């Protein structure tokens, strides 16, 4: 086989590629892999292994930096935005910008969410022409 013990690779598992390390090699051309969290899988087929794809999102649990510098988007209190909730974008407004780069937002219905990550906030798309205070209907769980 082409892989050596200790090689960092991506392994196909349940239809998804995951980072792993080769930790065993069999005469029949199969490999044992270590997922890096104390678990492993044995007898993996060689064609289920590929060179590690290095990308910022390769890590299964991205470490969020706590000491984020001031937001490049620079949302300010009162800005009209859309924020993600349950994988859906909803109209909202910024209540406060936090020191760690997150925001507290107001959904406009008396509820709010604290510590929303900047990647979950965007400029309103279709709502930018609605005046502040206008009565709108929004789909919400």
Contact 115, 98 (CB under 8 A): yes
Average pLDDT over residues 47-75: 60
The DSSP bridge partners found for residue 106 are 93, 112
Look at residues 111, 82, 106, 81 and name the one whose alpha carbon lies nearest to residue 95. 106
Local confidence band at 135 (pLDDT 50, 70, 90 cut-offs): low
What pLDDT is stored for residue 106 in this prediction? 94
Its pTM stands at 0.39
More confident of the two residues 137 and 37? 37
- Position 124 pLDDT exceeds 70: yes
Between strands 121-122 and 49-51, the pairing is unpaired
pLDDT at 80: 92
Buried b (16+ CB within 10 A) or exposed e, 42-55: eebeeebbeebeee
More confident position, 19 or 140: 19
Measured CA to CA in angstroms, residue 76 lies from 51, 72, 100, 101, 119 at distances of 44, 11, 14, 12, 15
Predicted confidence at residue 61, as pLDDT, reads 47
Contact 46, 1 (CB under 8 A): yes
């Amino acid at each position: 086989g082409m892989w050596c013990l200790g090689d960092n690779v991506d392994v196909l598992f349940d239809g998804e590629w995951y980072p792993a390390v080769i930790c065993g090699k069999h005469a029949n051309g199969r490999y044992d892999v270590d997922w890096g969290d104390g678990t492993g899988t044995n007898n993996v087929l060689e064609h289920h292994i590929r060179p590690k794809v290095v990308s910022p999102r390769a890590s299964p649990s991205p470490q969020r930096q706590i000491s984020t510098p001031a937001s490049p988007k620079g949302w300010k209190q009162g800005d009209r935005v859309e924020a993600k909730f349950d994988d859906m974008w909803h109209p909202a407004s910024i209540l406060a910008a936090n020191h760690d780069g997150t925001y507290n937002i107001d959904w406009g219905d008396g509820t709010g969410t604290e510590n929303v990550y900047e990647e979950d906030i965007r400029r309103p798309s279709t709502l930018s022409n609605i005046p502040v205070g206008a009565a709108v209907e929004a789909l919400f769980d």
